């Protein structure tokens, strides 16, 4: 079962925030440019964001997996 084309609600919500918040979007783009793989970029994003937030403002926990999938189209 999927949620709005994503693996689940959590992945959808993280993607929604990354793709619709300018600061998060720019941060994700920056990490994609600076790292060799999307997995490394997602881990770096998580290292940065987890110091500030453990969840999105909607309550979805950030995870490397959800960030990795959100970065797919960046």
Domain count for the chain, please give it: 1
The pLDDT score that the predictor gives to residue 48 is: 94
Question: Is 2 inside a domain boundary?
Answer: no
**pLDDT category of residue 73 using cuts at 50, 70 and 90:** confident
Is residue 56 one of the residues assigned to a domain? yes
Residue 4 lies in a domain: no
Q: What is the pTM of this model?
A: 0.90
Give dist(CA 14, CA 36) in Å, integer: 22
pLDDT at position 9 is: 96
Q: Which domain holds residue 61?
A: 9-73
Half-sphere exposure of 18 (CA within 13 A, CB side): 31
Share of the chain above pLDDT 70, in %: 100
Let me know if residue 48 belongs to a domain. Answer: yes
Q: Is residue 54 part of a domain?
A: yes
Taking a C-beta distance cutoff of 8 angstroms, is the pair 25, 18 a contact? Answer: yes
Residue 3 lies in a domain: no
Q: Give the confidence band of 1 by pLDDT, cuts at 50, 70, 90.
A: confident
Angle at 19 between CA 23 and CA 7, to 5 degrees: 135
44-65 residue pLDDT tens:
999 999 888 999 999 999 999 9
């Amino acid at each position: 079962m999927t949620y709005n084309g994503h693996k689940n609600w959590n992945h959808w919500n993280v993607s929604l925030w990354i793709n619709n918040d300018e600061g998060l979007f720019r941060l994700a783009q920056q990490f994609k440019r600076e790292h060799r793989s999307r997995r490394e970029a997602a881990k770096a994003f998580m290292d940065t964001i987890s110091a500030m937030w453990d969840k999105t403002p909607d309550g979805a926990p950030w995870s490397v997996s959800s960030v990795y999938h959100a970065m797919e189209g960046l």
